[in-house]
């Protein structure tokens, strides 16, 4: 499970890096350009932080939860900023992937496996 956590957190960080880089790849309006830089950097930083916390086996669900919320924001950006162009599909797909990966990883990291028999369901 630790390998899966590192993989999901690393993928979130890479998606954040893509959102950041897409600001320079595509020709975007000023607000859309700035949004991709700020939100992409934030998602990349949160994903990298979650990856580090996964390696050290510390709690990282809040960082992943925030990254998932930023993924939802990236889905909404083309509609909020009224920038429905071809590069907007990159934001929508990237945001959907960030939301799915970070949200699932946050959900999984919030659940603890039972460690003793008393924490498990009682035998019937």
Q: Does 118 fall in a domain?
A: no
Q: For the whole model, what pTM was predicted? A: 0.83
pLDDT (tens digit, 9 = 90+) per residue, 23-56?
999 888 888 899 999 999 999 999 999 988 888 8
Give me the number of domains the chain comprises.
1
Q: Which of 76, 74, 65, 80 is nearest to 20 (CA)?
A: 74
Three-state SS at 113: coil
Q: Domain range for residue 13? A: 2-112
Rounded to an integer, what distance in angstroms lies between the CA atom of residue 13 and that of residue 17?
Answer: 6
What Rg, from alpha-carbon coordinates, does the chain have?
17
Question: The tokens 């960082």 sit on which residue?
Answer: 63
Q: Does 122 fall in a domain?
A: no
């Amino acid at each position: 499970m630790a390998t899966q956590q590192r993989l999901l957190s690393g993928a979130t960080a890479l998606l954040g890096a893509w959102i950041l880089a897409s600001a320079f790849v595509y020709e975007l309006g000023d607000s859309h350009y700035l949004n991709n830089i700020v939100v992409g950097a934030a998602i990349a930083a949160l994903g990298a932080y979650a990856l580090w916390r996964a390696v050290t086996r510390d709690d990282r669900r809040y960082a992943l939860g925030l990254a998932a919320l930023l993924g939802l924001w990236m889905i909404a950006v083309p509609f909020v900023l009224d920038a429905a162009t071809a590069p907007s599909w990159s934001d929508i797909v990237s945001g959907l992937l960030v939301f799915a990966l970070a949200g699932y990883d946050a959900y999984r990291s919030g659940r603890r496996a039972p460690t003793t028999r008393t924490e498990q369901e009682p035998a019937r």
